[in-house]
Amino acid sequence: MRFQDRIAILSGAASGMGLLTAQRLAQEGARVVLTDLHLEAVTAAAAGIVAEGGEAVGVQVDVRCYDQVSAAVELAVKRYGAVDILVNSAGGASSRVCRSPAPFHEQNVEVIEWGLDVNLKGAVLFARAVLGRMLAQGRGVILSLSSVEGVTGSACVDYGAAKTGIIGMTKSLALCGAPHGVRACCVSPGPVLTRPEMANMKTRLGRAAEPDEIVSLILYLCSDEAAFITGANYVIDGGRSIGGMQ
């Protein structure tokens, strides 16, 4: 029960890595606030955690809108008294999510803006909303999901740029938080089996990651076991970023 009575808020928590992280945090004692753009899905996700004996609430949030982000943080504080952990997991490659596979120089500008806003701006806004409270508490962890493509680059240019930005944001937040006991960490996964097509992405280890492998690293970095870690980016990609992949 590493997270007994800790309060965690997560973006992109109705599915995928965000949902699995919320479930695992709740299993280890955290009270979790799940946020996502899709109201029915995030409400159902929170209800599932409650049905398993955890404590959770689901909130509809568009991470591009600071008023919605701030309101979710206020709800967490009003309901549970604090915010100890923020997990920024909302995001995705714009070309896939928006179903617009055009090359970057022909890509619809609205698609590019979606990619930058959801993958980077949303994380910055959530960090802004929680940081002041964490500084006042003298504790807190901001964990953000980047991607191996934030390290290697991506044909989806806005996605690669945003995920590289997440790494830089993490370092900057660590500088702001360190004097006050607030840590910031980043996890950059390679292919993860949250979607079947991920199995086709090559790695040096010859497979994609199981979602639990990524979440176990996330939980470690959010826990007191990692109390001396801040500002670091952890690449967990089966060796994909080593280079030379055909």
Check: CB of residue 39 under 8 Å from CB of residue 68: no
Residue 66 vs residues 61, 70, 112, 117: alpha-carbon distances, Å: 9, 6, 20, 11
CA 185/CA 206 separation, integer angstroms: 27
180: which DSSP letter? G
Query: Residues with Cβ < 8 Å from 35, sequence gap 6 or more?
Result: 9, 10, 11, 12, 13, 42, 58, 59, 60, 61, 63, 69, 72, 90
47: which DSSP letter? H
Tokens of 178: 């360190």
Report the catalytic residues: 159
Please count the other Cβ atoms lying within 10 Å of the Cβ belonging to residue 125: 21
